[in-house]
Structure 1
Amino acid sequence: MEGSVAAETRNTAGSGTAPGYNSKVLKCAQMTWDKANRYWRFHFSEVKLKKEDAAASEFDELLLALYTPRGIFVFRHDLKHGLSAEGLKTAISGSGIYVCGPTGETNSSKALDVILQKLDSSACQRLGYTSLEDELLSELAAAHPQRTWQVYKDLPLADLSSVARGDRMEALVREVDSSLHPACIIKDADSDAFDWLRGGARIKCKSAQLCWSRSGQYWQITFFHTKLQAFGIREMATFDELLLTLYTPRGLFIYMHDLEFAVSTQGVRTAILGHAIRIRGPKGEQNWQVALEAILTKLDAESNGCKRLAFVPFRRLKGWHGTEAPM
């Protein structure tokens, strides 16, 4: 759960970007485990905040929503706490805000206590808290068709952070790649540009989840940060083969990408972050199974060079007539 919502609310003091209005931005983040640093953390990304002069930022107030196993905590940020530059992409995408628990503390509840204490002892202001059992949240969920978190409930990998889930899927795809090429030696990568070597081929593995786009009103799968060839930016891709893993409620679909299908640029961010590969279901189609079939049909079409390598099912689902044994 990570994102932002921009809003304008009436400001009786009369300050802000327009007379009588106060510009607010809401950023959301989920509590996740950072495997590399061994701590629980919240990471609010793409915060367009000027560190040297917060008053000159594009908004007047920054609200943070922390999605935790206990519920949702909302804070008004002080425009300073946990603010961190994001390297070269800061000028394009903005800064990050990191709030971390103690290093080595694996208990998420204890780590959350420390994180909340940090925020409460700073100049940030706690505005409210909502339990996940709150009737209003339940009513809102019931009032809408199934969305991303609902269709993945109780499925394998669903309770992991996106980073941890990506690591698990990469390990699985590496095993699949090895089994498909038994005569080749698989070696660890000696560069961050790709994930492993198969013989002399540099293999990059990307994974993405089938998600509902509330703004676009469609199901989609988007693979970000793909360093493909780009005129005036990169003469060649930073890898030889690109393997895509589609994490869906039905299971994992593994494809070899043709380096062209559904590729899109990301404006000025393309030079630093790379391209995106975005595959969408029909607009307005709320049934994820129907949307997934449309997405797979696009990938399997003879008009592109993508190739399905494997499918790992989670369990048999109603309406699914595959012959594979469930995972």
Structure 2
Amino acid sequence: MCQHSRGNLQYNWQRDGTRVQLKSAQMKWNKTHRLWLVQFQNVKLKEDDAATSNFDELLLALYTPRGILVYQHDLKHGRSAEGLHTAVSGSGIYVYGPTGQTDWSQALDVILQKLDASACHFLGNFSLKDGLLSELAADRPQTTLQVYKDLPLADLSSKARGDSLKALVREVDSMLHPAGMITDADSHAFDWLRGGAKIKCKSAQLCWSRSRQYWQISFHNIKLQAFGIREMATFDELLLALYTPRGVYVYKHDLEFAVSTQGVRTATSGHLVTMNGPKGEQNWQEALEAILTKLDAESIGCKRLAFVPFRRLKG
């Protein structure tokens, strides 16, 4: 008999007393290393003895063009520590295709060969045309992928999109301050200099949170002042680029609104700035309006600097 975990984030369900944790990952191309891989994140295995982790079985679901392939992991294969974040966020599990092999099908064959040669156990393959999957998809609200379909930057990796948005915001900053000299940063703590002001730019995408049932936009790794950690922020101004299906909104942040810590990770990773739409509101446009209303409120110190509208690239 299976029972869902009630409030326990260490595993997803129990099967006759066996605590089962499920991790999923999409097969993707790594442009830097020129290879296909699957990468499972935040796997909280005990460093000294994986068998004593807070779950008994680890199932991996590989989302690939060939289907959804499910394995029972051996708690060893492909495991990699994540540096200082391991204690908080857990380990990663990486399985790579051959370097330079651009064909996803041949790369997937190699990935599966590695898993099959290990102590991992193949459980099954679900076709992407499976009727049950179609029913589950039909019951869900419009996904993030769907609302950004055919929009500029939608097909880029998170890093490439972030770099493009940063370049856009820098151009906006230059246009708004024609008398200010914009120069490259000489530190990783900020992104550019405007005269003597150190400018930091962060970008984030409006996304649907399935677990929390709301649209959300969350900016990460912002090194603000923190008692006992940083005496002051590592920059003078924080500019935010909100990547939405409507376009890119650029705001100057007041260094206070919607700021939250990340527990022990705050020391290394910084703060979060997170804005949520109404819980249960599945319409992204309504949710975005609610978020913008908060940002534009006179009671807070954020300021809208620009809006760059989008149009569909196809159709």
TM band (smaller chain):
0.7 to 0.9
Q: Which consecutive residues of structure 1, in runs of 5 or more, have no partner in the other structure?
A: 12-20, 317-327
Q: Distance in 2 between matches of 1:192 and 1:32?
A: 28
Shift of 1:76: 1.6
Structure 1 residues 101 and 174, CA, compared in 2 at 3 Å: closer, same or farther? farther
What stretches of structure 1 move > 4 A for 4+ residues in a row?
A: none
Q: Distance in 1 between matches of 2:176 and 2:98?
A: 42
Q: Partner of 2:283 in structure 1?
A: 287
Secondary structure, counterpart of 2:11 in structure 1: strand
Q: 1:140 aligns with which of 136, 160, 165?
A: 136
Shift of 1:5: 8.1
Do the aligned residues in 1 keep the contact of 2:10 with 2:54 (CA within 8 Å)?
A: no
Q: 1:256 aligns with which of 252, 257, 262?
A: 252
Deviation readout 1:35-62 (Å, 9 max, x if unpaired): 4433333322221112331111111111
Structure 1 residues 72 and 196, CA, compared in 2 at 3 Å: closer, same or farther? farther
Structure 1 residues 78 and 276, CA, compared in 2 at 3 Å: closer, same or farther? same
Deviation readout 1:234-289 (Å, 9 max, x if unpaired): 11112222221212111221212111110011222222221111101112212111
Instruction: Identify the range of structure 1 (32-41 vs 202-211) with the bigger mean alpha-carbon deviation.
Output: 32-41
TM-score by length of 2: 0.87
Secondary structure, counterpart of 2:202 in structure 1: strand
Q: Distance in 1 between matches of 2:130 and 2:155?
A: 21
Shift of 1:107: 4.1
Instruction: Identify the range of structure 1 (34-43 vs 262-271) with the bigger mean alpha-carbon deviation.
Output: 34-43
Shift of 1:294: 0.5
- Establish whether residue 24 from structure 1 lines up as the match of residue 20 from structure 2: yes
Spell out the pairing of 1:122-201 with structure 2 (5 A cutoff): 122-201=118-197
Secondary structure, counterpart of 2:110 in structure 1: helix
Q: Distance in 2 between matches of 1:303 and 1:124?
A: 56
AA paired with 1:8? W
Shift of 1:311: 1.7
Q: Distance in 1 between matches of 2:107 and 2:282?
A: 37
Q: 1:265 aligns with which of 252, 261, 267?
A: 261
RMSD (Å) for aligned C-alpha atoms:
2.4
Q: Which consecutive residues of structure 2, in runs of 5 or more, have no partner in the other structure?
A: 1-8
Aligned length: 305
TM-score by length of 1: 0.84
Percent identity, aligned pairs only? 74
Do the aligned residues in 1 keep the contact of 2:10 with 2:55 (CA within 8 Å)?
A: no
Structure 1 residues 133 and 309, CA, compared in 2 at 3 Å: closer, same or farther? farther
